[in-house]
Homo-oligomer: A and B are copies of this chain.
Amino acid sequence: MPATIRDVAKASGVHVSTVSRAFSAPQLVNAETRAHVLAAAEELGYRPNRAARALITGRTHNIGLIVADIANPFFPPLIKAAESHARGRDYHVFVADTNEDAGVEEELVLALAKQVDGVLLCSPRMSNTQIEQLSREVPLVVVNRPVPGLPAVVMDVAQGARLAVEHLVALGHREIALLGGPRGSWTNREIRRAATLAARNAGAELVVLGPNAPTEESGSAQAEAVLRAGVSAVLAYNDLMAVGLIDALDHRGVKVPDQISVVGIDDTALSRRTRPMLTTVATPTAAAGRAAVDMLLQHGDDRRTTALVTLQTELVIRDSSGPGPHRTAGPGRRQQPPVDGVASESRE
């Protein structure tokens, strides 16, 4: 029923190959002929069949995008940016959701492999070995984790964690808890490493609580542990957990930030909606989505490149972090941290 290239050829009195070239190689066909063809195509409402084209060219003009959980507010901006960016380059995007399950992750990559020109693997929970294996099936770009030999885009979350810890120390906190994220998360390891280091350098103590699922619930569930740990400040793996923690503290009558300061990571839409508004590390999720698409389209088939894009993060100071018990002197609560560079502009 739908018009094919043959219908167009018939209608414009030329051969199908000419029609094809009229679309994909305009310089090879007489301008006049081309005009005829295009008119006929328009007339018939012809749209090339991408499946047929894919069959012969080997490129589907589709890309896969695999995330851990669409409902996690971290991902929608990334998905949105990637989709829109890809569409601008005439690519369509398959979105799939793994429910934070490494097994589903693998299955999805395999299922999508023959259907797409490449896959954007966001925050994978698989092992590097598994990922490398999969990259033999289909070009992969990994987001939020560097994998040796594969193109990846990561956020400098270590920098963010450092800034967060320094911010808390500057406010007078000496005992800080880190609400760890999920096992298998590179980001989690980075945060932990950087936060530990930053704390040590600043003469503060860092207690690690976790690993935990990156959800609001598990943030709430850790409230007891936080209180038991006797800390005056908490850095959470992400905003979701920070929000859950604040809620649970609130229920127990613990005031944030008066009694405990809480800092999140990601600067999701959520962070502006909590009371108090959340101090958090902003990660450039939309930029990451676009960068990942670019890398995929650019590298095309030469997998096993070692390209790594690192995006900067910054600390956004709001109301959930305040003076700690060891406050000596210095800036007021909402004031900018002393720091160099990135930290000093908290955009809002």
Contacts and interface: CB of A to CB of B under 8 A. Distances in A.
Interface in A167-221: none
Copies of this protein in the assembly total 2
A79 interface: yes
Contacts of A269: 71, 73
Given A52-B55, A79-B70, A114-B2, A92 B96 contact: yes
B83 A95 contact: yes
Contacts of A111: 87, 92
Contact of A92 (B2, B115, B275): B115
Contacts of A93: 94-96
Contacts of A306: none
Contact of A275 (B84, B96, B112, B275): B275
Interface in A37-54: 45, 47-52, 54
Interface in A87-117: 87, 92-97, 99, 110-115
Given A2-B114, A76-B71, A115-B51, A94 B96 contact: no
The CB with the most chain B CB atoms within 10 A, among A70, A93, A137, A269, is that of: A70
Given A76-B76, A83-B70, A49 B114 contact: yes
Contacts of A51: 50-52, 54-55, 60, 114-115
A79 B95 contact: yes
Contact of A87 (B48, B49, B76, B96): B96
Nearest to A301: B1
A77 interface: yes
A99 B87 CA distance: 13
A236 to B, nearest CB: 15
A269 B240 CA distance: 11
B110 A96 contact: no
A123 to B, nearest CB: 16
Contacts of A95: 79, 83, 93-95
A92 B112 contact: yes
Interface of A: 2, 45, 47-52, 54-55, 60, 62, 69-71, 73, 75-77, 79-80, 83-84, 87, 92-97, 99, 110-115, 137, 243, 247, 269-270, 273-275
25 contacts: A2-B114, A45-B137, A49-B114, A51-B51, A51-B52, A51-B54, A51-B55, A51-B60, A51-B114, A51-B115, A55-B55, A69-B80, A70-B80, A73-B269, A80-B97, A84-B97, A87-B96, A92-B96, A92-B111, A92-B112, A93-B94, A93-B95, A270-B270, A270-B273, A275-B275
